[in-house]
Each structure stands twice: as C-alpha cells, then as structure tokens.
Amino acid sequence: MAHPSNNPLKGYTHYTHFIISNPDTYVAHVEINRPAKLNAFKREMWLELRSIFRQLSADPEVRAVVLSGAGERAFTAGLDVHAASQSEPTLLGSKGDIDGSRVATLLRRDVYDFQDCISAVERCEKPVICVLHGIAIGLAIDLSCCADVRICAANTHMSVKEVDIGMAADIGTLSRLPKAVGSFSWVKDVCLSARTFDAEEALRVGFVSQVLESKAAAVEVGLRTASLLASKSPVAVQGTKELLNHARDHTVDESLRYTAIWNSAMLQSDDLSSALLSGIQKTKPKFAKL
C-alpha cells in the first residue's frame, strides 16, 4: 500500500480544508487538514465536510472511508472558538437590540445546520472508520460518534470539553454517546466533568474498538480495515450499516420489519451468487458498482 495521501481521489480535488486520497481501490481517505491550528474547525470546514460526505455517499468508486486528522498533534482540537466568536456574533457577546426569541431563532437555525453538517458522516451510505490520535476534544467526539468504527493511537487524549466553555454539547455527542458506549455512569461522568480520558480507558468502556501504538499504526490499521470492507459485497456492507443504525433507534420488532422490507429488494442481487461462488472457488469475488 502506497502512502495514504499519495493518490488524490478523483472528483474531490477542489476541496480546500481536507485532503481526500485514494490509497486503495474503492477506499477514500479524508484527512482534516489544518494541522497548524490543531485541526480546529471553522464554519467553512464543516460546510465542506458535509459536501464531501454527501459526495462520498453516492460515489460508486468508494466503498469504505477512513477519517483522520493531518499532523502529529491532534485529530482535532474541536471548534475554533476564536473564529466562532468572530463569525457568529449571536453566539458570543453582542446581540445588538434583538430580543431573546429572535436570538433563539438564529441560534436554533445555526445549531441545526451545524448538526446537519456533522451528521453527514453518519448518513454517508458507506462505512466510515475514524482514526483518532493526539488531541481529540469537543467537536472531535461529536464527529467520531458519527463514524461506524473508532480506533485510536495510544497517545490519544479525549474529552467532551463543552461543559468547560459553559455550554452543553449540542452537535451530537450527547445524542450519540449514550448509544455508543454501554456504561451510562461513565458517559455521564465524562460528559458532566469534561475530564480527559485516554486510549486505554476508551478501549475498556468500548468507545473505541482498537488501540494502536502510534498514529501511523492506527492509520494503517484503519486503511487496512477499509480495504477489507471495500473488498466485500457493497450491497451487504452498506445494508449492514443502514440496518444497524436503524436498529439503534427503534424497537426490535420495528427493526425486524424494516430489515425484511429492506432485504426484499437487496437480496435481488448478483452479489449472493458471486460471494458463494468465490467461497467455493477460493477466488476473490468481483461486485458491480453501487
């Protein structure tokens, strides 16, 4: 496997805040690219993130995505608070003379839109593997909660930081973390206290499913996993993602029914015979575009 950043992914070269490469067939690697600022997010970055993942979602050349941060120091230090305070006067400081209900309306629209941008990672039809390393706080948790699989480097330091800037996290951490990790006591502990937790703790509670010794190793494992997923039937892999996300949010009965409806179409696929045949012939199956 070549260096992950070597091959730009076709059709994604116009994005400016993310490096989008094509390390292996059907694999996209998206890197947050603002290492000088610890990959902190400005508004134009999350807008761009949404565009990228919408495009990946429908791109037949992509079957698995790795999301990581450029540079050695941080996956992302979260929201660029300095930039936010300048571009979003409603959020911090002078609201001029408009009343509280109108400020609330502006804030609500802003939060919706910000949530929608980050949720694009979850809505992406292709599986997303998030590789965390170094500093990973605030928005880093919101963002990684939208990924399907989380792995991290041993040096990762994570924190649901929002309480320390005087607010409840509102871009997805509080909505998704209770369903990503089994111990509600632990979830409450880290969300209420804003304390840092490290890679080992993240593995123990199940927030990440693997810890590697370095960022390089973690990215390599992330890419290798992506290559593995990309080699499998896209009908099977993308259906599995959709059905697991649906199950998280519904009763078992509703999930079973939705699954049956889904598969009544998705079983009409050549992938079943291709997969079975390859299994018998010990060959690598080929699957049509999706």
Closest approach of a copy of itself to the CB of residue 92, in Å: 6
**What whole-number distance in Å separates Cα of residue 65 and Cα of residue 131?**
11
Closest approach of a copy of itself to the CB of residue 213, in Å: 19
Closest approach of a copy of itself to the CB of residue 249, in Å: 4
Q: How far is CA 41 from CA 75, 113, 134, 169, 209, in A?
A: 11, 15, 16, 15, 25
Interhelix angle 234-248/252-266, rounded to 10 degrees, is 160
Closest CA relative to residue 156, chosen from 187, 188, 197: 197
12, 41, 75, 207: which one binds a copy of itself (CB under 8 A): 207
Residues 139-198 that bind a copy of itself (CB under 8 A): 148-150, 162-170, 172, 174-189, 191-194
Q: Are 1 and 223 in contact (CB under 8 A)?
A: yes
Coil, strand or helix at 188: helix
Residues 45-104 that bind a copy of itself (CB under 8 A): 58, 81, 85, 91-93, 95, 98-104
Coil, strand or helix at 134: strand
Closest approach of a copy of itself to the CB of residue 123, in Å: 10
Residues 11-50 that bind a copy of itself (CB under 8 A): none
* Residue closer to a copy of itself, measured from CB, 5 or 178: 178
* Residue closer to a copy of itself, measured from CB, 5 or 189: 189
Q: In what order do the strands lie in the sheet with 128-132?
A: 18-24, 27-32, 64-69, 128-132, 149-153, 210-212
Closest approach of a copy of itself to the CB of residue 189, in Å: 5
Question: Would you give the binding string for a copy of itself spanning residues 113-142, x where CB under 8 A is met?
Answer: --x---x--x----x---------------
